[in-house]
Amino acid sequence: MQRRTIRPLVAMLAFIPLFAAAHPPVQARTYVRRPRLVVVIVIDQFRYDYLVRFRPQFSAGGFNLLLSGASFSDCRYDYATTTTGPGHATLFTGTYSNIHGITENEWYDHTSHHTAYCVADPDTRLVGGTEGPGASPRNLLVDTLGDELRLASNFQSKVIAISLKDRAAVLPGGHTANAAYWWDSKTGHFVTSTYYMPSLPAWVAAFNQSQPARAYCGQRWQALAETPDAGGQLLGEFHPQPGEPCPDARFLAWLDSTPYMNQIELKFATEAIRQEHLGQGRATDLLAISLSVNDHIGHAFGPYSARVVDTTIRTDHDLAEFFRAVDSTVGLDHCWIALSADHGVAPNPAFIKLHHLGIGNFPTDQMRERIEQALRQAFGDDQWVEASDEFYIYLNRSALEKHHLDEAKAESVAAAAAASSPGVYAAFTRIQFLTSSLPASPLARQAANSFNPKRSGDVFLVRDPYAVPAEDDLRTTHGSPWNYDSQVPLVFWGDAFKPGVYASACQPVDLAATLAAALGLTQPAGSQGRPLTEAMK
Ligand SMILES: [Zn+2]
């Protein structure tokens, strides 16, 4: 009996390695799906909880269509600078600012002593709008999902990116996009830059010629009947002066604070699909749409306001109409759609104080003065701080030289002063980043993912939770590592994805990684995202 049980086991043990060597386990799919069109929708300033709070008011074909796919309920940015330029770069490159180089919307350049805008490119001009410098992805240090799609198809795939903001079109498009279009609010036209083309295609010129804003002249912003606690309320109104033509610059500025801008943007995206025959060629095309007006309205009123609620419900309805248009041109069965956001947002300081969540408005000037004072006290009279923004203190390097002062010493005095200021949670120095001597904490890791040695400042600031650098108590902003700013939706819809709600932790860097894996592409050069295989068929 013993012989009969032992001998097969011995035989098995002897054969396993040989068997494994001859037949390595094959789990990867040999067949890669090729949708005709991939649509990536980014909503500028959209918290994950909006999908839950307002779901009862959503229509069947908008967010609910996407939520019938694979939805991740715990998707959080693992960096500390949750703003528009960095967020869009992150979603499409699959990596953070330390690698993709878009550290902020604007950063201070120590060499030129000027502020550098993330998509500024003096070698380009605007096309189709006001005279002026254009924009390009030259500051983006790695490539994007769209770039990999273009490379893999020998440039047969078309990549088009659309937004109201230049940075939210240029960065998603990547280096090889066929086009990035954004809104010129001075003229009410969609524009591009000479980086992409010398003049607008006929269909874009015709779209502009039709004056898309004109349809809203005389309209008021009244809450939808289904908007909770605000149904039918007047939320916005334009007061024209006697004889004032419409749409003029004043009207366009007003329109930019209403949810109607999403309708104009999605109408333009629909026209792009039709006129550029997206999803109708032999290769997979990519359309990146960033809906910007949600951010404008969120800044002005905060995430718990009736205007944000109404805008979110209208975004759902507008997306439903857009998806119907995609269905009638490309066929939704042949499309994949992904949804995410570049960042969330904090409540406004008035709301924060009312509900005792934190200090509310962050005293920026007080902190900067405290840092100056500490540096004067330690090293003598001078102008020690050369520049500062919401994330960094930039020290005056010529003053350091003049006083024969070690940078590390000055940084640590400045950081200590910052850290002891009201509303500051932590301050990290440039030397700490460069020498990997940060504390071992999740927060320090997030800060390190935001830090790029060539573009970042000398002291990095993390404000307390609910300490918001807003312009006043009723406006608000984002840009912190805290979850109200960092947690966003991540949804994949289409025949490659397994429907379900996934509670496993994931990050926005996984968007590009997942789509690249599902399309059988090389991952974008810097991608550190994880293909979310649990949701892939
Ligand atoms: Zn914003």
CATH number (domain holding residue 491): 3.40.720.10
Whether 225 and 314 have beta carbons less than 8 Å apart is answered as no
**Which among 431, 463, 495 is the end of a domain?**
463
Ligand 1 centroid, distance to 295 Cα (angstroms): 5
Respond yes or no on whether the N-terminal peptide bond of residue 17 is cis (omega within 30° of 0): no
Whether residues 176 and 298 fall in one domain:
yes
Whether residues 272 and 336 fall in one domain:
yes
Whether residues 419 and 515 fall in one domain:
no
Residue 524 has a pLDDT of 98
Whether 485 and 345 have beta carbons less than 8 Å apart is answered as yes
Whether 379 and 389 have beta carbons less than 8 Å apart is answered as no
Rounded to an integer, the average pLDDT of 135-163 is 98
Whether 503 and 73 have beta carbons less than 8 Å apart is answered as yes
For the stretch 222-271, pLDDT in tens is 999 999 999 999 999 999 999 999 999 999 999 999 999 999 999 999 99
Q: In this structure, is residue 207 part of a structural domain?
A: yes
Q: In this structure, is residue 14 part of a structural domain?
A: no
For the stretch 494-507, pLDDT in tens is 999 999 999 999 99
Ligand 1 centroid, distance to 284 Cα (angstroms): 31
Ligand 1 centroid, distance to 84 Cα (angstroms): 6
Residue 33 has a pLDDT of 72
Ligand 1 centroid, distance to 94 Cα (angstroms): 21
Residue 500 DSSP SS3: strand
Q: How confident is the model at residue 166 (pLDDT cuts 50, 70, 90)?
A: very high
Residue 23 has a pLDDT of 52
Ligand 1 centroid, distance to 478 Cα (angstroms): 6
Which residues are known to be catalytic? 84
Q: How confident is the model at residue 513 (pLDDT cuts 50, 70, 90)?
A: very high
Ligand 1 centroid, distance to 62 Cα (angstroms): 23
How far apart CA 89 and CA 109 sit, in angstroms, is 20
Q: In this structure, is residue 17 part of a structural domain?
A: no
Please calculate the CA angle 121-271-237 and round it to the nearest 5 degrees.
Answer: 80
pLDDT of 51 higher than 90: yes
Q: In this structure, is residue 306 part of a structural domain?
A: yes
Residue 531 has a pLDDT of 97
Ligand 1 centroid, distance to 262 Cα (angstroms): 16
Residue 32 has a pLDDT of 63
How far apart CA 31 and CA 365 sit, in angstroms, is 58
Whether residues 521 and 378 fall in one domain:
no
For the stretch 409-444, pLDDT in tens is 999 999 999 999 999 999 999 999 999 999 999 999
Whether residues 89 and 216 fall in one domain:
yes
For residue 131, the cross-strand partners are none
Q: Which of 29-33, 127-131, 405-409 is predicted least confidently?
A: 29-33
Rounded to an integer, the average pLDDT of 145-149 is 98
Ligand 1 centroid, distance to 65 Cα (angstroms): 27
Whether residues 388 and 339 fall in one domain:
no
> In the chain, how many domains are there?
2
Q: How confident is the model at residue 130 (pLDDT cuts 50, 70, 90)?
A: confident
Computed over every residue of the chain, the mean pLDDT equals 94
Whether residues 511 and 431 fall in one domain:
no
Q: Which of 5-19, 58-72, 338-352, 354-368 is predicted least confidently?
A: 5-19
* DSSP track, 180-243: EEEEETTTTEEEEETTT-SS--HHHHHHHHT-GGGGGTT--EE--TTSTTTTT-EEE---PPTT
Domain that holds residue 439: 363-463
Whether residues 138 and 258 fall in one domain:
yes
